[in-house]
Structure 1
Amino acid sequence: MASQELHDLVVVANRLPVDAKTLPDGATEWVTSPGGLVTAMESVMRNVDSAAWVGWAGSPGEAPEPFRADGMDLYPVSLDATDIEKYYEGFSNATLWPLYHDVIVDPAYHRTWWDTYVSANRRFAKAAAAVTAPGGTIWVHDYQLQLVPEMIRSERPDVRIGFFNHIPFPPVELFSQLPKRNQVLRGLLGADLVGFQRESDTLNFLASVRHLLGYQVDQRTVTVPGIGAVEPRDVIAGTFPISLDTQAVTELTEDPEIKERARQLRHDLGDPENVVLGVDRLDYTKGIRHRLKAWGELLNDGSIDPRETVLVQVATPSRERVDAYRQLRDEVELTVGRINGDHAPIGRPAISYLHRSFNRRDMTALYMAADVVLVTALRDGMNLVAKEYVASRPDLRGVLVLSEFAGAADELRAALLVNPHDIDELKSAALRALSMPEEEQEEMMTSLRRQVLDHDVQSWAKHFLDELEAVGEPAPPSAPIIRLSGDETPDTAQLDAALEAFADTPRILVASDFDGVLAPIVADRDAVQANPRSIGALRELTELSGVNVALVSGRALEDLQHHAGMPSSVALVGSHGAEVGALPSDLHADVMDAGTMTMDETRQNLRDSIARRLQHIADQHPGAEVEVKPASAVLHTRNAKGRGAGNATEAALEFARGLPDVTVTPGKEVVEFSVVDSHKGTAVRALGRAAAADALLYLGDDVTDENVFAILEDGDLGVKVGDGDTAAAFRIEGTDAVADLLERLLELRTGEE
C-alpha cells in the first residue's frame, strides 16, 4: 500500500492507469491498461519524482486503499453503480462526447446526470487536493472532469492547476446547446493553463468564454474576475498536440519475436499482396461505417481483388452498455458479414474483423504487417493510431491514409489526407495508397517519422508542464488544511483527553457558532431554539475564574441577542465578525474593537443594491429568501423548491464575480455579501487577545467556521459539528453532542466529576 504522502505532481484522470486482474489463487494483480491517455502518461509518471495518479479503479463500489503499481503511487476514487450510469455513461458519454464530436449522434440531456457529474467531479477534486504538496502541480485530464479545476482551486489556491482536453472542443454554436455550459466553462477556468489538441479547439474554447461568459480575452489569455473583492486572475489557453512514447515503440519494432509475429500474421491471412489495417475503438466518431462502405464499393466494382488484398479491422470494445454503441456494433458486424458473404474467397475473409483488445506487442506486429493503415475518423481529438503506425515503421514502408478531421492531421501533413464523408475520395485514397511506389512511400514515411520521433510524449508533457510553470506563482494558501475528511471521526477517548488538557489551562476562551451548534438548524430561522443544556453549561462556565465565553454567528447582532438569550457576561459577535456587542468587563475593550463595523453612506448604498439584486434572484427561485443585515445582504436557499437552491446559489455567485469591495462567503445553503471585510477567524483571534486566553475552544458546523479552525494553534481545540471536510482536529455528531461536550468541560473545569 502506498503511504499517504504528499506529491509534487498529481495526475487526475477518470481511470487509473491499471486494471485489476484476479489470479487463480484469488489475489488481485494490477496490470497496465490500454488506452491513449495511459500510453501517453505512463512514461511521464516514471520520469517525475514524487508523482501520483488519482482515478477510478474500474469497479463499482468502495475504492481500494491507495497502492503502488508499476512504480506509481495510485489513489483510487470510488464510483458506485449510479455514478457509472449517470456521471460516466450519462453526462460524460451520452451528453458531452457526442456534443464535442460535432453531434454525429444526438446528445442526450438529463438533469440528474448533471447532479451526479458534479458530485463525482467533487470526489476527484478532493482526492487530488488531499495528496498534493504545498506549491505542487495538479494536472487534470479530459472531459469527464471539467469541473475539477475550479473545485481544486477553491480548496488549494496554493497549487498550480493544469487541464488537458483530449477530445475536440466544439464551436461556440454547438457548445451553446449544452445545459450548464457556463458552469463547465468556469470549471475549466479554475485551471492556470487549459490545453487542447488542435489550434481550432483552443480558438473554439476562447470564443465560448468570450461570448457566453463575457470575460476579457486577450489573444490566449482569459481574465477571470474574482468573486467579490477577490482579485481577478489570468488563465492561459494553448495548443499541445499529444504524442506517444516513441522509444518504447522503437524497442518493440527491434524485437525478433515481434518481427516474426508480423510475418506470421501475413501468413495467417493467406500471404496476400496487400494488408490494409483499421484500428479503432468501436465508436461512431471513428468513421468505421464510412470505411466499410468505401471498401465494399471497391470490392463491388472490382477495383480490389479480395484474393490479393485483405482488410483487417480491429474494433476494440467500447461503452457497450450505451445504446448508440450497441447499435453501432450491430451495424458494423452486419456490414462485415454481408461483404464477406458477397466477396470472400473460400478459406480467406475479404475483411478480417476482430472485436477485442490487443496488447502493445500484438498491435506493433499488426502495424509492421500492414501495407496501408486507414484512419478515417469523422472527428477526433488526436488519434494516436496514426502516430503509432508511423513509429512502428523504421523500414520506411507503408502508407497512412488520414482523416483531415483527426487532430493528427495538423502534424502529419505528409500523409494522404482525406475527407471521410466523401466516399469517392476515400476510395481514391485507398487505391492510391495500394499502388504507391516504394520510393514515394519512403519519402512520405521519412517526413512522417521525423515529425513523430521529434515530438514524443516526453516533449509533449515537458512543453505543457513548462508552460504551466511559467504562468505565475500560485496564491499563498488561504483555505485551511483539511484534517478530517467526510465523516471521519477520531476516537472519543482522544477528544476527552484533549478536553481534559484544555480544562486544565489557566485562562481559556470558549467560543461557538449558534445555528447548527447550540441550536438545531430549522427551516424557519425565526423559530430557532437553542438546546437548554448547552445554554446552561455556557452560563455556568462564565461564572468560573479564568473562563470567557463568546458566541460568534453569521446572524445579525440584534437577531443573535434575541434568540440566544445570553447574560452580559457572554460576548456576542454577529455578521461573521462585522458586529460586536457590548463586551463583558473582564475583556479588554481596547483590544477587541467594538467599532469594527464602519458603515457609511457609500457602503449602505452598496449593501442595498446587492440586496435588490439578491431579491430578484430569490423571486425567480421560490422559497429562497433575502436577509438584510447592518453590514451585509444574505441569500438563504434552505427552503428553495426542487433545484432552486443550487440554481439560486449559482446565480448569486455569478453576480458576485467582479463585484468590488465586497466579501462573498458561500456557506451551508447561504451566500453572504458583506460590505465590511470581516470573518469569524479574525473575530475569534481578537476575542482571544481581549481575554488574554492561553487557549481557546471553538465549536462550529459551517463553511464559515473553517476560518476559525484554520487559525487555531497548539493547545487550542477545534471541534466540527456534523459531516464535511474540516480543518478541525475533532468531530462530534450534532447539537446534543455539543451539550454533552460543554457539560463535560464544566465538570472538568470545576473538578466535579
Structure 2
Amino acid sequence: AVRDGLNRIPYIYTVCRQESTALGDDAPKRSVIVLSEFVGCSPSLSGAIRVNPWSVESVAEAMSSALRMSDAEQRLRHEKHYKYVSTHDVAYWARSFDQDLQRACKDHFSRRHWGIGFGMSFKVVALGPNFRRLSVEHIVPSFRKTENRLILLDYDGTVMPESSIDKAPSSEVISVLNRLCEDPKNRVFIVSGRGKDELSTWFAPCEKLGIAAEHGYFTRWSKESPWETCGLVADFDWKKTAEPVMRLYTEATDGSYIEHKESALVWHHDEADPDFGSCQAKELLDHLESVLANEPVVVKRGQHIVEVNPQGISKGVVVESLLSSMVRGGKAPDFVLCIGDDRSDEDMFESIVCPANGRVKLPATSEVFACTVGKKPSMAKYYLDDTVDVIKMLQGLANAPSQQRPWPVQLRVTFEGTL
C-alpha cells in the first residue's frame, strides 16, 4: 500500500512465515518485509526496509537488497518482527488502554476542576484538592508571629501585568515594596530574568530591596550592596553560534527581537502574530538545541520567549543561595513567601516546598507559602488570580503589624455597700 491507516498484512505475513511447515518444523524461520514509510504499521516493524513508494529507484533498490540479503540477517529480522507481533496482541492493547484510563482517572473525583479560556483556547484544568486561593486573612497571622521573613517576588506577570506596554514598576508597587523593606524583620527580593541594569534603574527608589537579575546570575542584597555573580566560569563563546540562528528567525518573524544580556540571549515574540510566533518559537527551540548540543548551556521556552543561558543558572539555585546565606548569618527564615507566574518560577517553588531535595533545610516550624499567579498546575500550593491580587496581598502584609496589639483591659468598677 502506498498510504494506509491500519494495515495488518505485514503482521499476518510474519505469523504465516513463523507457522509455515513447508520447510519443516525445525527449519529456521526467515522473512524480509519491504514497507512503505506511509503505512500505519511502519513504526512498529523496526526490522522492515522502509521506502518512499513514490520513488521508483528507492523501491527497486529495497527489493534488490531484500533478495540479496543473507539468511542470517533474514532470520534476525524475522525474529524481531515475530516477537513484537506475538506479544502485542489484542489483549495487550486492551490492558494498555485500561491502565492508561485508570491512571488518567486516578484521584479524578478528589480534584478541583476549572474551565479556563474562551473559544479554541478553552481547557479544563484539574488541580489538587489542597490547591486554594491565598487570602490575606490566611497569611497575616503567620506573618505577625514570625521574626525572620523572606519574600521572593517575580517581576513580569507577578507585580507587573504581561499586557502592560510600560514595563517600569508603578508608584504603587514602589510604595508597597518600600513599606515591606522598612520592617527590619523582612528580606524582600525581586527575582527576575531581566538584566541587572534595567532592574537597578527601575527600583532605584527602593534602598533596601534585594534583586536577583538574569535568573540569579547577578545578585545584590540592597541598593548599596555590590553585585555578586554566581561561581560559574564565564565562557560565552556559545553566543557566537546562537545569535546568528536567532537573527534568522527575527528576520522571518515580524514583531520579534533579540535581547542581549550579559549571561544570556533571549528571543522575544510577544509582539508577533500569536500563532505564527508560537510556531517559530518551537522551531527555534529545536534548532538551538541541535546546534548547541555540545555547549554548556540550556535552551528554555518561556512566556513569549526562547532563552539560552548557562547551565546551573535558575531561580531555584539563587533561592537556595539566599536561604543558605540567611542560615549562615544566624537568621534562618521562619516565614517564606514566594510568588511567581511562569515555568522559571517553578524552580523557586520546588526549592522551598521540597527543601529535602536541596542543600538548605528550613526550620521545621517555618511558615512556607508558594503562590502562583493564575489557576494552573504548579508546584505551588496557593494561587492568586492576577497582578492586582498580588499587590493587594503585599499591601495587606505591609499593613499588618508585627505583633497584634493587646486589647485594652476594661476595668469594671462598682460601688457597693450601704450608707
Shorter-chain TM-score range: 0.5 to 0.7
- 1:595 and 2:235 aligned: no
- Deviation of 1:669 after TM superposition, in Å, equals 1.4
- Deviation of 1:642 after TM superposition, in Å, equals 4.8
With over 3 angstroms needed to count, the CA separation of the structure-2 counterparts of 1:521 and 1:715, relative to structure 1, is same
Deviations 1:453-484 (A, max 9, x none): xxxx469989xx9xxxxxxxxxxxxxxxx999
CA distance in 2, matches of 1:170, 1:733: 54
1:646 aligned partner, one-letter code: S
User: What secondary structure, in the 3-state scheme, does the structure 2 residue paired with 1:696 have?
Assistant: strand
- Deviation of 1:690 after TM superposition, in Å, equals 2.6
CA contact (8 A) 1:614 1:652 kept: yes
Aligned to 1:537: 176
With over 3 angstroms needed to count, the CA separation of the structure-2 counterparts of 1:738 and 1:170, relative to structure 1, is farther
Deviations 1:295-330 (A, max 9, x none): xxxxxxxxxxxxxxxxxxxxxxxxxxxxxxxxxxxx
1:724 aligned partner, one-letter code: K
User: What secondary structure, in the 3-state scheme, does the structure 1 residue paired with 2:229 have?
Assistant: coil
Aligned to 2:212: 573
Aligned to 2:20: none
With over 3 angstroms needed to count, the CA separation of the structure-2 counterparts of 1:563 and 1:170, relative to structure 1, is farther
1:596 aligned partner, one-letter code: C
- Deviation of 1:510 after TM superposition, in Å, equals 0.8
Deviations 1:157-178 (A, max 9, x none): xxxxxxxxxxxx9744x48xx9
**How well do the aligned residues superpose, as a CA RMSD in angstroms?**
4.1
With over 3 angstroms needed to count, the CA separation of the structure-2 counterparts of 1:492 and 1:199, relative to structure 1, is closer
Aligned to 2:313: 678
User: What secondary structure, in the 3-state scheme, does the structure 1 residue paired with 2:206 have?
Assistant: coil
Greater relative contact order structure (CA < 8 Å, 6+ sep): 2
- 1:701 and 2:341 aligned: yes
CA distance in 1, matches of 2:35, 2:251: 34
- 1:727 and 2:379 aligned: yes
1:680 aligned partner, one-letter code: K
CA distance in 1, matches of 2:139, 2:35: 56
Task: Find 1:509's aligned residue among 143, 150, 165.
Answer: 150
- Deviation of 1:197 after TM superposition, in Å, equals 4.6
With over 3 angstroms needed to count, the CA separation of the structure-2 counterparts of 1:659 and 1:461, relative to structure 1, is farther
Alignment: residue pair count: 305
Identity %, equivalent residues: 17
With over 3 angstroms needed to count, the CA separation of the structure-2 counterparts of 1:748 and 1:170, relative to structure 1, is farther
The 5 Å alignment of 1:307-326 reads none
Aligned to 2:278: 646
Aligned to 1:549: 188
Task: Find 1:656's aligned residue among 289, 308, 325.
Answer: 289
2:374 aligned partner, one-letter code: G
2:342 aligned partner, one-letter code: D
- Deviation of 1:697 after TM superposition, in Å, equals 0.8
Deviations 1:530-582 (A, max 9, x none): 24333312111111121111101011111222234442311111111112236
CA contact (8 A) 1:712 1:718 kept: yes
Deviations 1:359-391 (A, max 9, x none): xxxxxxxxxxxxxxxxxxxxxxx8x6xxxxxxx
User: What secondary structure, in the 3-state scheme, does the structure 2 residue paired with 1:711 have?
Assistant: helix
CA distance in 2, matches of 1:749, 1:523: 32
- Deviation of 1:502 after TM superposition, in Å, equals 3.5
CA contact (8 A) 1:579 1:597 kept: no
Aligned to 1:718: 370
With over 3 angstroms needed to count, the CA separation of the structure-2 counterparts of 1:613 and 1:558, relative to structure 1, is same
CA distance in 1, matches of 2:210, 2:112: 29
CA contact (8 A) 1:484 1:726 kept: no
The 5 Å alignment of 1:316-355 reads none
Task: Find 1:614's aligned residue among 222, 242, 246.
Answer: 246
CA contact (8 A) 2:145 2:402 kept: no
Unaligned stretches of 5+ residues in structure 1: 1-96, 103-168, 179-193, 206-236, 245-381, 385-456, 466-481
CA distance in 2, matches of 1:171, 1:652: 31
Aligned to 1:667: 302
- Deviation of 1:724 after TM superposition, in Å, equals 2.4
CA distance in 1, matches of 2:44, 2:195: 52
TM-score by length of 2: 0.62
CA contact (8 A) 2:136 2:396 kept: no
Aligned to 2:103: none
With over 3 angstroms needed to count, the CA separation of the structure-2 counterparts of 1:493 and 1:629, relative to structure 1, is closer
CA distance in 2, matches of 1:460, 1:735: 47
With over 3 angstroms needed to count, the CA separation of the structure-2 counterparts of 1:707 and 1:503, relative to structure 1, is farther
- 1:636 and 2:271 aligned: no
With over 3 angstroms needed to count, the CA separation of the structure-2 counterparts of 1:660 and 1:552, relative to structure 1, is same
- Deviation of 1:652 after TM superposition, in Å, equals 2.1
User: What secondary structure, in the 3-state scheme, does the structure 1 residue paired with 2:238 have?
Assistant: helix
User: What secondary structure, in the 3-state scheme, does the structure 1 residue paired with 2:162 have?
Assistant: coil
